[in-house]
Amino acid sequence: MMKKEEQQNQPRRNNPYFGFFLGILLIMFLNGLVFPRLLEQQIVNTDYGTFISLVDGGKIKQVKIEENRIYFSALNEESKEVTYQTGAINDSELVDRLLKAESPNENGKIVFTKTIPRESSPILNFLLMWVLPGFLFYIFWRQISKMMQTRMSDGGNVMSFGKSGAKIYAESEVKTTFADVAGQEEGKEALAEIVDFLHNPEKYTSIGASLPKGALLVGPPGTGKTLIARAVAGEAKVPFFSISGSEFVQMFVGMGAAKVRDLFKQATEKAPCIIFIDEIDAIGKKRDNAFGGGNDEREQTLNQLLTEMDGFDGRKGVVILAATNRPEILDKALFRPGRFDRRIQMELPDLEGRKAILEVHLKKVKHEKVNLDIVARATAGTSGAELANIVNEAALKAVRMGRNKITTNDLEECVEVVIAGAQKKGKVISEKEKKIIAYHEIGHAMVAAKQTNSAPVHKITIVPRTSGALGYTMQVDSGEQNLMSKEEMLNRIATLTGGRAAEEIICETVTTGASNDIEQATKIARAMVTRYGMSEKYDMMGLETTNNAYLGGDSSLTCSADTAAEVDSEVLQIIKNAHSKAARLITENIEKMHQTAGFLLEKETITGDEFMEILNK
């Protein structure tokens, strides 16, 4: 955190008003509740008749008459002096009675007095009733305001009007460099020029070139967009302003625009520097007429951002980096030259990229010699953040097993934990169900092994997982695969239907265990028809669009209802053909199915090599 924030937080911890305020409250509490209760416990309540009886009986020593009460001390039956109180009654004969009565005192007379009411000073009344409550309320409100400012998002709250709320890191505080970013070589190469410009601006300004004002980092979550932005600041050794797009959104109209102005004002004062706006889609959505013709708070904030990006001089060295997972919803004005000049794709890492990322994170932990190729091939489609999590989970597993170094097996097991969840060792499965599960998984493996252009089987297990899977078959490609042919996709669908086919042929039943297989097979078959043009009937006609490609890809059909029904028929035919193929392969290798299933039931988990060894005997 920045030093400025630490200085702002220091008065809160050592606030003299806060201690004074607590002291006043403590004294008021003691005077109002505690002390009166202690005194009341030493005084005995009684009635006026008892008081008169004690006066006539000569047992009272002292009497104090107040406006509403009478306090008196008298001897009880044990001859001990006790203080009593009773309510005052308009008794005109009380004074004569007290003068005539006898008393245990030495002179035989009762000592009695009456309290003289004393009027308070008008000035004192004014101070106590008006000034003191107002002062206490002021101290209380001031303390509550400071607490609200401290707790609500680093100053970006209702009490900090117009402040940007950006976290500011000095050049000495940013330790991240390009060496800490792996698997994104293209992104680093695109940003290296910005770093060089910040280091040597004369080399570019001498021929009239100006620094790109902004670069937009686009990609799926976990690909290192924030990390590479910090690395640019670390390489250039300049201050780093970091703020989220959602922090510009305020409950008061105009506050978002004020925050933008304040952010650029601070950045200009500290130039050269880097501004990083994370999740810029929170304020950068396309402008439309849905919210009153562009007068809503978000659009005002976006307009101010566009104005500020046009207004500052790029030669001063202020660079704006922004990150988003949804570039398709951003306003087109942001991409105009002179604003975000560059768009840098931060894609999921390839095989070599995953190896490099694993190497970076393995430097932080103790490990034996790790086969990075096996782990990298088993983690196809994972992001850098997920790979970092896998390494950390492997370190935790090694500690649980009583070892001080990570092994390849630890990493492989943690890959399975990320994919299918941890093992449910306490789950009880009957022998009948275990047999069905074993044949189901061997069915997948058998169909995969008997097809060409299919990924090799890496592991088969019937150990239940926390994700709900009762078993799974893992296939790992021998290399990086960027394209899939129609034959490969049909083989993949056949492999997915192999589990259900084994249940039908060998166990003579069908179970709910194929639910995930059905979902995946249907998704692939539908994509073949609607998106990839792999249907003879529809040729290369696009029937579906994909939104939010970096966030899972929501699909929607772009065809008539009649065409959609025909698409369903095409998808059904593809799945039926694959199901028939899987059933044929299992029937042809029924003996090998029994052998491998028996071995799996005995071991519960077998490798792909063990499976292929039995299959090739």
Q: Tell me the backbone φ, ψ of residue 340, rounded to 5 degrees.
A: -90, 90
Amino acid identity at 318:
V
Q: CA 336, CA 349: separation in Å to the nearest integer? A: 29
Q: Render 400-438 in DSSP notation, one character per residue.
A: HTT-SSB-HHHHHHHHHHHHH-SB-TT----HHHHHHHH
Catalytic residue among 441, 480, 508, 613: 441
Tell how strand 457-461 and strand 605-607 pair up. Answer: antiparallel
**Two structure tokens written together for 224:** 């290192």
With CA atoms as reference, report the closest residue to 113 among 76, 73, 75, 80: 73
279 is catalytic: no
The 3-state secondary structure of 38-55, one letter per residue:
HHHHHCEECCHHHHHHHH
With CA atoms as reference, report the closest residue to 450 among 507, 498, 486: 498
How many residues in total does the chain contain? Answer: 617
With CA atoms as reference, report the closest residue to 600 among 419, 443, 418: 443
Q: What is the DSSP letter of 182?
A: -
Cβ atoms within 10 Å of 420's Cβ, excluding its own:
19
**Two structure tokens written together for 170:** 């000095």
Q: Tell me the angle at which helices 431-449 and 561-588 cross, rounded to the nearest 10 degrees.
A: 100
- Whether cis (ω within 30° of 0) applies to the bond prior to 272 is yes
| DSSP helix/strand/coil, 468 | coil
Residues with active-site annotation: 441
